[in-house]
Amino acid sequence: MKSALQGVIVILAFSGLLAAQPSAAESSPPNVPLSKISDPLVRVLAGKGLFTTDELVELTSSGTVVGERATLAQLLRKKGLLTDAELQDVLGPAGARPAVAEKPAALAVVSPMPAPAAQAPAQAAAPAPPKPPAVVAAYAPLRVLPVDPPKREGLIPDIRISNGARLKPYGFIKASAIYDSSSPSATDMPLPYLNGDTGPNVDPEFHVRARNMRMGTLFEWLDSPKTVITGRFEADFEGDFTRPLNRNISSIRSSEFSIRLAYGRIDHMVDANNTVFLLVGQDWTPFGSSTLPNIIETTGLGLGFGTLYERLPQVRTGVIHSFGGSRNFKILPEFAITLPAFGNTPANVADQLGYGERQGADSGRPEVQGRIVAQWQLDKAPGVAPAQFIVSGVQASRKALVTAAAVPAAFKSAFPGGAEVSSDRWGMTVELQLPTRAITWTGKYYHGTDLRFYFVGGLYSNFNDTFGLTSTTTVPSIDGASNVVFGLQNGVPTIAPERPVRTQGFSTDLGLPLSRWFHANPAGRSGGWTANLHYSLDTVPARDARRLGGGGRAKNDMAVFTLFWKLNSLVTFAAEESMYRTRAANDTANSVGGLFTLRGVPAREWHDIRTEIGPIFTF
């Protein structure tokens, strides 16, 4: 056993587990006194707080030095610190190893001494099959920003890398057939009516779409017992269509693989009730993304129809505090600095990555965001997610530049070096999620200015306020994403202020756990029926819409019914019926800017009745 002891010590020292003695708060977990540990090596490691209570129970169950040493070796193998060959070298023949079950309650430790020749070698008990769920789970709201910190070794890895990283790939393949009663934008996702002309009819369309495929992987790196390091990378094929020479004809089915999420995160447990974290990379925005609709159409996810959300490069930090109690009440304040993106399309879209999306960056300051989340267990029935109340906010600035060469001749003396004009964005949301065993209700209200990048505000950004100006001249900004107006204010050369478009709206969802209602067998085919009802509304003041230069979009709303049947853990079938609608700011064709044009005639309202159906294969 001396060589075995040396081997274990070498592995532990190389892995950094034999570190400096921690503070008293990090000592051995409660209810397992160190005096009960027979093996000096296990006792030293336990005193450093390297084991959980369950692991100590597992280690001390044999009551002997030999048994504790063998169990320690198997724990190190489960943590990825020993290979199978090293475990074999430490413990000897396979028949001499103790049987360690996955759960401490089922622990069975046998003597590590070789079995007599007349007896068959001891064998580890076969793992028990997973127990089927006791009840059908309640309807869980769609949440992309969790409150609970990730657990150490909470990731069951499928892939291990030599540097200690543990990976778990995931994803889904979704194909759907789609019919739109009116799709004037000619896309496979619904968009608000963009003031075009549908031609001789309302332009119905049919699509079959497979570019929803998504894939990603979760990461975990093992560190100290109180620090959890995780990460995520996720991408899909919802990007632009490619147009190289060999794809000109077939570009419609060759969409590009594009990034969705890519971040690393460090969580450190300060004490039993407080955890601090730091996230760096691209993730969902704290502003507005806490509440999302659970619908099939995820290419736009209600883009332009009142479902405010986004993903952005960011640096985010926060504190998770647990109050405990019978409702397990928790609170999370978090703050982020993000890329100041405004989504104004440049004149040269091909160069957008290089300089097109520059008006936010030209402000010279980051966008700031934050949210406060309160989480508690509203319904204590089994299979019910906790409730959440969220308040979030955002503030940023943009700046449009005009070069000296582009300044109109009549204004060059007043602006010899060029000109600039700026505007601000701000926004706030109040969100509520109330899961119960019978229904799950979620709702969100938002209000702000220049929220185009967050897919609301009629997809408008800003307008030039030319009130009181004379002799106006319009020139494009340096990126071509907006126009800047020069004029005279009481005879003095000036630039028209750019006003952000105001907006407000709301969204609401009602999740229905159909199988739970009818007490279906949770392990059977009938246990996977759920439905979701969604409605959202995005509004722009008619005054702002008209000042953009036309009648404009004043209201966009959507109503969706989605039915899901989960055949098993891998396959779900879904059917969705929805209505998307846009209403003009004007009442009559004689108003400033007029009305929409449908079938060649003026109309105040456009709508699309949409049907989408298809399977989702999850891996």
Kindly write down the DSSP assignment for every residue of 500-548, as one continuous string: EPEEEEEEEEEEE-HHHHTT--TTSGGGGEEEEEEEEEEE--HHHHHHT
Taking a C-beta distance cutoff of 8 angstroms, is the pair 259, 282 a contact?
yes
Q: Which of the listed residues 86, 106, 126 is the one where a domain comes to its end?
A: 106
Does one domain contain both 69 and 165?
A: no
How many independent structural domains does the chain possess? 2
φ, ψ of residue 495 in degrees (nearest 5): -120, 135
How far separated are the first and last CA of the chain, in Å rounded? 44
pLDDT range class, residue 133, cuts 50, 70, 90: confident
Does one domain contain both 342 and 448?
A: yes
Does one domain contain both 350 and 487?
A: yes
Does one domain contain both 234 and 306?
A: yes
Reply yes or no on whether the pLDDT at 68 is more than 90.
no
* Mean pLDDT of the 49-57 span: 67
Note the pTM of the prediction, 2 decimals.
0.79
Q: Which of the listed residues 489, 513, 537 is the one where a domain comes to its end?
A: 513
Position 559 in a domain: no
pLDDT range class, residue 520, cuts 50, 70, 90: very high
Position 529 in a domain: no
Does one domain contain both 401 and 472?
A: yes
Can you give the residue range of the structural domain that contains 63? 2-106
Reply yes or no on whether the pLDDT at 30 is more than 50.
no
Position 125 in a domain: no
pLDDT at 377: 97
pLDDT at 24: 37
pLDDT range class, residue 7, cuts 50, 70, 90: low
Reply yes or no on whether the pLDDT at 54 is more than 70.
no
Reply yes or no on whether the pLDDT at 22 is more than 50.
no
Does one domain contain both 102 and 221?
A: no
pLDDT at 439: 98
Reply yes or no on whether the pLDDT at 35 is more than 90.
no
Reply yes or no on whether the pLDDT at 21 is more than 50.
no
Does one domain contain both 385 and 249?
A: yes
- CA distances 195 to 346, 382, 549, 605, Å, are 20, 50, 12, 11
Residue carrying structure tokens 């030039």: 464
Reply yes or no on whether the pLDDT at 108 is more than 50.
no
Position 596 in a domain: no
Question: Between 75 and 273, whose confidence is greater?
Answer: 273
Question: Between 69 and 479, whose confidence is greater?
Answer: 479
Does one domain contain both 294 and 379?
A: yes
Position 439 in a domain: yes
464-476 burial code (b ≥16 CB/10 A, e <16):
beeeebeeeeeee
pLDDT at 60: 72
CA distance 76 to 12: 9
Q: What is the 3-state secondary structure (H, E, C) of 220-236?
A: EEECCCCEEEEEEEEEE
Question: Between 529 and 72, whose confidence is greater?
Answer: 529
Q: How many CB atoms lie within 10 A of CB 41?
A: 16
Does one domain contain both 296 and 419?
A: yes
Position 18 in a domain: yes
The highest-confidence range among 247-251, 357-361, 574-578, by mean pLDDT, is 574-578
68: amino acid identity, one letter: E
Report the share of the chain in percent with pLDDT over 70: 81
Does one domain contain both 99 and 164?
A: no
Does one domain contain both 384 and 454?
A: yes
CA distance 466 to 496: 5
Position 530 in a domain: no
Least confident of 329-333, 472-476, 556-560, 600-604: 600-604
Reply yes or no on whether the pLDDT at 224 is more than 70.
yes
Does one domain contain both 167 and 67?
A: no
pLDDT at 85: 64
From the list 304, 288, 345, the residue with the least C-alpha distance to 457 is: 304
* Mean pLDDT of the 104-125 span: 41
Position 260 in a domain: yes
CA distance 222 to 220: 6
* Mean pLDDT of the 404-408 span: 96
pLDDT digit string, tens, across residues 140-178? 999 999 999 998 888 888 898 888 889 999 999 999 999
